[in-house]
Every structure is written in structure tokens, then in C-alpha cells.
Amino acid sequence: MNSTKIILKYVPIFSELDDDIVSRIEELGMIRNYKKDMMIMDETNEGTGLFIVTKGAVKVTRNDSEGREIIITILGEYDYFGEMSLLDGQNPSANVIAMENTELFYLGRDEFMHLVQYNPKITFALLEGLIKRLRAADDKIKSLSLLKAEGKIIAAIIQLAEISGTMKQGQVEVELPFQHDIANIAGTSRETVSRVLHSLEKKGLIHLDGSKIQIPDYNIFKKAYG
């Protein structure tokens, strides 16, 4: 499982640990595979451990009062989730669903708490990660309340680009998920997403190619959001 050990060293909460500790984490954990659209974590069930994305991507969601899905964030390779319920033993604060066929490294709560007792660096890194996520959540709340529809959708595309975008012939290319996923990230409708995407294409900010979005100049695109 050398490849798993290499991946764990890129995870923020484990990156500063000695190799022997990372090897121990590798031994205590296991690989789990989930097919696209499978529920990984349900906010109605008790949290059981820490999950690290080793391949694929997941979306973190909640349902509003009318049962509509709201996407809080998207997590890709080296990202982790489950840390809040890991620490307090309570139910997860959100659902986590595979956006594509996804591989996760799973570390159970008992094993994790044992590691934390002898490795305080993990605790500090975990707290730092929680603070960063709280700040990101605050930023998203501000953007959703202040930006118009186009800005919200550009922000959603940027989030997807940062997670799963690839460079191709000098431009960033993003695999386009279902438009309702972008709508749920941006807090708008699918019809609005479709209209804004075609408007952005007319402005030359993006090029739509089947299920892909090509961004010729990523820096200019991000400035349009700012």
C-alpha cells in the first residue's frame, strides 16, 4: 500500500507527521470504494470515522425545508471529511455523496482517537482545518447573499475547476456535472445556469464542448468573479 502512504502525506492533517506514524495510520485504515451517486455519509446516521478522498470526488450536501438538495462544497483528492462527528461522536452535519466512482481511505473513530492521544500534531492540524472550513463557509454565505446569478455560477465553476480541472492545450478544462449540481452549488435554478453558461460563452470567458467547459484564460475568468 505504498501508494496509500504517499497519498496520506499530502493530506494536511498528516503531512507533518513522521513516516513511521503515517505507516501506522496506513495499517489501521482501509480502502473503501463507492460508485457514482452512492451515499457515503448520511446526516441522520451516527458518524463513524475519518474519510480521505484518494480517487474521485464527493459532494457535501444538506436538504432545505422543502427537501431540495443544497451543495455545501465539493471535495477531491487529498481532501477529508467526517472530522466533526469524529471528535464529538454526534451525527454528521451533512450528507456526503460520490459524484463519480470514488475511492476513500477510511480510519475508524477508535483508531483515530488512539492516534490523537500520542500525536498532538494531528489535533492541531485538525483544528486548523476546521477553522479554514468555517472561514470558507463564511465566504460562501457572503457570496451567495451578495453576488448576482452570474457571479454565483462563476464561483461554482471555479470551485469545480480547483477540484477537478485539468490543463489542456494551455486552457483549463472542467468536466461539467449535471446542471442541477451547479445550480445547487450556486443556489439558483437549472434554467438560470443554462442561460448564464451560454452568456459566458458569448463573452468569450468559456467554451462549451459537450459535457466539458473550457476556460481559455483562467485568470481573466476568476477576475470576472471578483
- Statement to judge: residues 130 and 18 lie in one domain: yes
The pLDDT of residue 164 is above 60: yes
- Statement to judge: residues 115 and 174 lie in one domain: no
Report for 1-5, 7-11, 62-66, 94-98: range of highest mean pLDDT: 94-98
Residue 105's pLDDT is 94
The pLDDT of residue 13 is above 90: no
- Statement to judge: residues 7 and 53 lie in one domain: yes
Distance of CA 24 to the CA centre of its chain: 26
- Statement to judge: residues 16 and 125 lie in one domain: yes
- Statement to judge: residues 130 and 188 lie in one domain: no
Residue 172's pLDDT is 85
- Statement to judge: residues 154 and 134 lie in one domain: no
Contact 166, 172 (CB under 8 A): yes
Domain that holds residue 214: 148-225
Q: Residue 173 phi/psi, 5° resolution?
A: -120, 130
User: Of 113, 144, 175, which residue is a domain's last?
Assistant: 144
| CA distances to 28, 65, 85, 130 from 44, in Å | 26, 15, 12, 21
Instruction: Give the model confidence (pLDDT) of 115-130 as tens digits.
Output: 887 777 787 777 777 7
Residue 40's pLDDT is 92
The CATH number covering residue 76 comes to 2.60.120.10
- Statement to judge: residues 102 and 164 lie in one domain: no
d(CA 168, CA 153): 22
Backbone torsion region of residue 205, taken as left when φ is above 0, otherwise alpha when ψ lies between -120 and 50, otherwise beta:
alpha
What DSSP designation does 142 have?
H
d(CA 173, CA 164): 9
Residue 146's pLDDT is 47
Residue 48's pLDDT is 77
Residues of the chain above pLDDT 70, percent: 86
Residue 141's pLDDT is 60
Q: Which residue has the higher pLDDT, 136 or 215?
A: 215
1 closest CA partner among 105, 142, 156, 125:
105
53 closest CA partner among 45, 41, 62, 43:
41
Residue 168's pLDDT is 72
The pLDDT of residue 226 is above 60: no
- Statement to judge: residues 121 and 215 lie in one domain: no
- Statement to judge: residues 162 and 123 lie in one domain: no
Mean local confidence (pLDDT), 195-222: 85
User: Of 98, 121, 144, which residue is a domain's last?
Assistant: 144
C-alpha cell at 143: 457570496
- Statement to judge: residues 139 and 152 lie in one domain: no
- Statement to judge: residues 116 and 172 lie in one domain: no
SS3 12: coil
Using alpha carbons only, what angle is made at residue 121 by residues 120 and 123, rounded to the nearest 5 degrees?
65
Residue 1's pLDDT is 43
- Statement to judge: residues 115 and 20 lie in one domain: yes
What DSSP designation does 107 have?
E
Instruction: Give the model confidence (pLDDT) of 27-70 as tens digits.
Output: 889 999 999 999 998 876 666 788 999 999 998 888 776 777 77
Mean local confidence (pLDDT), 159-185: 74
Residue 39's pLDDT is 93
Number of structural domains (the chain) is 2
The pLDDT of residue 177 is above 90: no
User: Of 108, 123, 144, which residue is a domain's last?
Assistant: 144
Across the strands, what pairs with 102? Answer: 34
Q: Which amino acid is at 132?
A: K
